[in-house]
Structure 1
């Protein structure tokens, strides 16, 4: 069964049984960003270190980046977002995912928040 983690940058990570990690932004994030108008995704097979910029997003309000939550190599990207960046707003935890990767060290995922921890975190933001 998939396990979901969250970052303080409002990204979610869904870890499948095969170890593949899917990354997207939370509903909280997409709501604060406003309508997404552009998404630049990473290249498949590119390796990233933790904290490195993996994707770029632009909305009607702001521009930002999706940072690599843990080190790993990108295995797939959501090509649909190139033509339909609004999918992130419509279904941030589903069809609005950004990319999938294989973590270099899966134990690093344990440093991230679970759903209860993330809910507590966003409550502190007001």
Structure 2
């Protein structure tokens, strides 16, 4: 279960999940320990579990009507990791028009689909 700490970690994740193309969140749960758990489906060849923790902020309201992601941006900035549901994003561009996650830590687990 890798943790996102470097640009290479981001590139590895994006390669594995095709930049979140066609993905959507099927489960969102704030756990008793303060970690946010997400499960993504619809990704090419896998499902994905993600955990965020440490000074957590997020907003998923923008994907209530259209849950599909067509791309993503994962950033490291000022000691935080960000995951956003659009490509070529920056921290300055984050608004409630985007689904985003911000925390000190991000860890993930790939779940291969049968036959992949």
**TM-score bucket (shorter structure):** 0.3 to 0.5
Higher percent of residues as helix: 1
| TM-score, normalization by structure 1 | 0.40
